[in-house]
Amino acid sequence: MAVSKSSCIVVLVTAGDRQSAAAIGRTLVEERLAACANLVGPIRSIYRWRGAVEDAREHLILLKTRAALYQALQARVRELHPYEVPEIVAIDIEKGSPPYLNWVRESTATAAQPARPRKR
């Protein structure tokens, strides 16, 4: 995927409970890796894991961010997420409201500012 500094994406992440989803979403927004985190759910997820078909209740996190931040966001989700293999799927935003996409860009980290707050 070619990444331009101005392109935006939606990243889908599922979590096993609302508290985990909220903690992940809040952290990513606080650290400016995402402009917004929407929590959807509970949802029903049916998937194959370790040879068995699972049927689980999960919560979906919709994250809006810059495409250029995807690698950092993905790494941070893996640090925060309790799943061994979390769902982290990015979808390019081909079209969107220019004011909204400008807000996404303004609300997320740029190369000039650190994505994560410094530890005190």
Confirm whether 77 is domain-assigned. Answer: yes
pLDDT band at 26 (very low <50, low <70, confident <90, very high): very high
- Domain residues for the domain of 24 are 8-107
Q: Is the pTM above the cut of 0.95?
A: no
Confirm whether 116 is domain-assigned. Answer: no
- Residue 79 three-state SS: helix
Residue 52, token pair as written in the block: 């068995």
With a pLDDT cut of 70, the percent of the chain lying above it is 87
Alpha-carbon Rg for the chain, nearest whole angstrom, is: 15
Confirm whether 118 is domain-assigned. Answer: no
Work out how many domains the chain is built from and give that number: 1
- Residue 89 three-state SS: strand
pLDDT digits (tens, 9 = 90+) for 28-71: 999 999 999 999 999 999 999 999 999 999 999 999 999 999 99
For residue 28, the domain's CATH number is 3.30.70.120
- What is the distance between the alpha carbons of residues 28 and 66, in angstroms, rounded to a whole number? 12
- What is the distance between the alpha carbons of residues 101 and 97, in angstroms, rounded to a whole number? 6
pLDDT recorded at residue 113: 61
Asked if the model's pLDDT at residue 118 lies above 60, the reply is: no
Judging by beta carbons within 10 Å of its beta carbon (0-12, 13-18, 19+), is residue 113 exposed, middle or buried?
Answer: exposed
Confirm whether 92 is domain-assigned. Answer: yes
pLDDT recorded at residue 120: 39
In this structure, which amino acid lies at residue 104?
Answer: V
Confirm whether 119 is domain-assigned. Answer: no
